[in-house]
Amino acid sequence: MEAEQTLSKLISINSVFNNEKEIGVYLESRLKRLGFKTSRQYISPGRFNIMAERKGAKQAILFYAHMDTVTPHGKWKGDPFRALMQGDKIYGLGACDMKGGIAAILSTLSKITGRAVKVLLCPDEENISRGAWRAVERAGWFRDVALMVSCEPGGSKKHIGGANVVTVGRRGRVVIDIDVFGLSSHGANPQMGINAIDEAAKIVSAANTFKLRDHPDLGKETIFVRKIEGSSESALDLPDKVHLELDIQLVPPSTTKDVLSRVEGAIRLMREKGTLNPLTKIAVNVRERETPYIEPYVGDLKDQSIRKVFSLIRENVREPVINYGSSVADDNILSNVIGKPIITIGPAGGNEHAQNEWVSRKSLKELVKVYGLILENV
């Protein structure tokens, strides 16, 4: 099977984020052989988006995939950079997330011509999405696109991919910095100062009681403390500074700005109730990073092209499943910035971001069929 052979090759190329050059060169050459005009959009030396297009009838269908993987974790059955086939499963780093989807794209495009197609391949999705954020700067490139198809598995609590599993929305994410400033004193007289660790512990304890929103499709927002850091400067100093980081998964209508305001409000309420020492100083900010944090999105199920995809799956595969992703992906960026309809359909698999990641061979074959149906009928 062509898709399986391509997947084996992709797995053999180490493309852990920051190391996507080799796989980018390989995929660019494959697309050129399929008749695509390609261009590179660099995000840093050796790291680039591939923006490819092949002329044809109708408005273009755009296929999106990211080229990077996470680092291999844990103990594998074999070499994570060598495809291992056992029954219906193909094991290998990135097999499910998301080299299986890339293999299905290439296999489909080798069989079906005549339809206008664009392919966007990005690095750094497993980090801070530098590739996707750079791609959407070229908004005009997306102008003739009728439908965007992301080949991610679209992981949720119930599903990790599947040719009949259509993801039409995802939660967002933001990280909030909280710096707590107490008052140093000699450790023999702690009552003379304010222990910043004690004050920070009160915020940590209250974090799970912060107001979280619930969405009928994406579920309830979640929050966890991802970092806490602080200590005495010397042996007998009362610690006077602690740094906290809260990781919050968002659902509509939450935004980065809105979440910052809500956290500030929660801490203000703790002050009013007397939970925090009134002399404790607290600074709350969105954690800085090179790219914006990613907002949630929910697709329009009434969109004609999305309805057509569901109909094609129902008639040619089996009953489609409407899915909503539990975590962020570049799909969020494409949806929120470009504004075109987007669906996420990737192969079924498991152990994403873990040891012995795998993809289903049967699902990979079905996915090629579904991608073909989209190209021919949407």
Per-residue pLDDT of the chain (378 residues; tens, 9 = 90+): 899 999 999 999 999 999 999 999 999 999 999 999 999 999 999 999 999 999 999 999 999 999 999 999 999 999 999 999 999 999 999 999 999 999 999 999 999 999 999 999 999 999 999 999 999 999 999 999 999 999 999 877 888 999 999 999 999 999 999 999 999 998 888 888 999 999 999 999 999 888 899 999 999 999 999 999 999 888 788 999 999 999 999 999 999 999 999 999 999 999 999 999 999 999 999 999 999 999 999 999 999 999 999 999 999 999 999 999 999 999 999 999 999 999 999 999 999 999 999 999 999 999 999 999 999 999
Pairing between strand 57-66 and 145-150? parallel
Q: Are residues 157 and 306 in the same domain?
A: yes
β-strand pairing of 214-215 with 349-350: unpaired
Same structural domain, 132 and 212: no
Report the largest interatomic distance among the alpha carbons of the chain, rounded to a whole angstrom: 80
Give the CATH number, domain containing residue 235.
3.30.70.360
Q: Does 151 share its domain with 165?
A: yes
Distance CA 79, CA 126 (A): 21
Instruction: For residue 209, give its domain range.
Output: 172-286
Peptide bond just before 98 cis, omega within 30 deg:
yes
Same domain for 251 and 328, yes or no, is no
Number of domains in the chain: 2
Same domain for 125 and 235, yes or no, is no
Same-domain status, 157 and 244: no
Residues 6+ positions from 141 with CB-CB distance below 8 Å: 51, 118, 135
Are residues 37 and 134 part of one domain?
yes
User: E-strand spans in the chain?
Assistant: 37-44, 47-54, 57-66, 84-86, 89-91, 115-122, 145-150, 165-170, 172-181, 214-215, 219-220, 222-229, 241-250, 281-286, 297-298, 321-325, 342-344, 349-350, 358-360
- Same domain, residue pair 199 and 262: yes
In a domain, 302, yes or no: yes
Q: Which of 138, 203, 215, 202 has its CA nearest to residue 171?
A: 215
- The pLDDT score that the predictor gives to residue 189 is 86
- Residue 252 belongs to some domain of the structure: yes
CATH number, domain of 22, equals: 3.40.630.10
150 with 235, same domain? no
193 in any annotated domain: yes
Residue 240 lies in a domain: yes
- Do 126 and 55 lie in a common domain? yes
Residues 150 and 198 in one domain: no
Structure confidence at residue 97 (pLDDT) = 95
Q: What is the C-alpha to C-alpha distance for residues 239 and 304, in angstroms, rounded to an integer?
A: 60
- Helical segments of the chain, H only: 2-12, 21-33, 100-111, 130-135, 196-207, 256-272, 304-316, 330-333, 361-377
Q: Which two tokens stand for residue 221?
A: 């927002």
Question: Which residue from 113, 116, 119, 86 is spatially nearest to 101, judged by alpha carbons?
Answer: 119
Token readout for 98 is 């998301």
Residue type, 309: V
DSSP 293: P
Calpha distance 97→93 (Å, rounded) = 8
- What pLDDT does 17 receive? 95
Give the domain-ending residue among 286, 312, 337.
286
Last residue within a domain, chosen from 241, 256, 286: 286
- The answer to whether residues 278 and 178 belong to one domain is yes
Q: Which one of 231, 251, 286 terminates a domain?
A: 286
From the list 259, 272, 178, 173, the residue with the least C-alpha distance to 211 is 259
> Do the domain assignments include residue 291?
no
